Amino acid sequence: MRNMNERKRTYLLITIPILALFICFNTVPLIRGFIYSFTNFKGFGDYDWVGFRNYVDLFQDPRVGKSYLFTFKLAIVATIVTNVISLILALGLNGKIKGKSFFRGAYFIPNVLGALVVGYIFNYFFTYILPGMAKMAGIDSLSGSMLSDTKTAWIAIVIVCAWQAIAMNTIIYISGLQTVPEDVYEAGSLDGATGWKKFKHLTFPLIIPFFTINMVLCVKNFLMVFDQIMALTKGGPAQSTESISYLIYNNGMSGGQFGFQSANAVIFFIVIVAISVAQMQISGRKEEQL
């Protein structure tokens, strides 16, 4: 009993400080933000209660609607690109190739770098290096900066987001591939399963849980994209790449719309939770069917 009490005391000494920090820096700001969403708070000074007016105005603001459309478009395209490339790389890195450990480490480097650092590097690349190379090659469509064109700026952001996210996704897929027993492949080869059929009927069904993890993480992270946009376009040109997170930060912190953007943040939080739960349920049903 004495040992058990000491163990419980140790758990409490470890858990309580972490729980206190979590409540202080996560739960309390979340509650305060929810309260501010019912006010006309500008970020400073006094404020008045306005009820649900902020939430009503959200659905009537075309700028908010445009940011949601852009963010969802970016998240869908970047998620597809990231997972397709990650799965191909994982299949290659899981094979019997020389220098496999080196290549795995090299592909993981982008995940170690900060998103802002990566964004500023690619900003220089898209603004100076790529146009210079395009002019030398005689490619007029790329002779200008992708970031200054409303039709191509979002593509540049997708490239940067996917380039950095591929690293972690590849590692997760490799972990999944290593859980597939060799006996399954041996049995499949006896039945004539090779190439695409081998992947479709043997490999992919067994790594569905890892596919689910990657899809949920990708959608969540890309919906919350901020650093890349801050470094690359700052929402431009002509607000064509203004994500929800950037809009909340820009107009909430410096635009005097703290209460209004707090309401936007609450709605955005609900949307992300709903999408994540829906993804988990759909993927769970597919796993049960398999």
Q: Per residue in 147-202, pLDDT tens?
A: 998 899 999 999 999 999 998 999 899 888 888 887 777 777 766 667 777 777 77
3-state secondary structure of 39: strand
Tens of pLDDT, residues 200-256: 777 888 888 899 889 989 999 999 999 999 999 999 898 899 999 999 999 988 888
- Residue 1 in this model has a pLDDT that exceeds 50: no
pLDDT at residue 205 in the model: 84
pLDDT at residue 142 in the model: 81
- Taken in order of first residue, the domains within the chain and their CATH numbers are 62-289 (1.10.3720.10)
Task: Tell me the pLDDT band of 38, cut-offs 50, 70 and 90.
Answer: very high
- Residue 88 in this model has a pLDDT that exceeds 60: yes
Residue 100 tokens read as 């496999």
Q: What number is the average pLDDT over the span 258-268?
A: 93
pLDDT at residue 45 in the model: 82
Task: Tell me the pLDDT band of 2, cut-offs 50, 70 and 90.
Answer: low
3-state secondary structure of 162: helix
Please state, as a whole number, how many other Cβ atoms lie within 10 Å of the Cβ of residue 186: 9
- Residue 262 in this model has a pLDDT that exceeds 90: yes
**Whole-Å CA distances, 213 to 59, 84, 177, 286:** 32, 14, 14, 14
CA–CA dist 287, 242 (Å, integer): 36
CA–CA dist 25, 61 (Å, integer): 30
CA–CA dist 79, 248 (Å, integer): 23
Supply the mean pLDDT for the chain: 87
- Residue 99 in this model has a pLDDT that exceeds 80: no
3-state secondary structure of 49: strand
- Residue 110 in this model has a pLDDT that exceeds 60: yes
pLDDT at residue 122 in the model: 94
Q: What number is the average pLDDT over the span 30-50?
A: 89
Could you give the angle at which helices 28-36 and 258-289 cross, rounded to 10 degrees? Answer: 120
Share of the chain above pLDDT 70, in %: 94
pLDDT at residue 3 in the model: 55
Instruction: Tell me the pTM.
Output: 0.87
Residue 254 tokens read as 């410096």
pLDDT at residue 71 in the model: 96
3-state secondary structure of 283: helix
Q: Which residue type sits at 265?
A: A
- Residue 72 in this model has a pLDDT that exceeds 70: yes
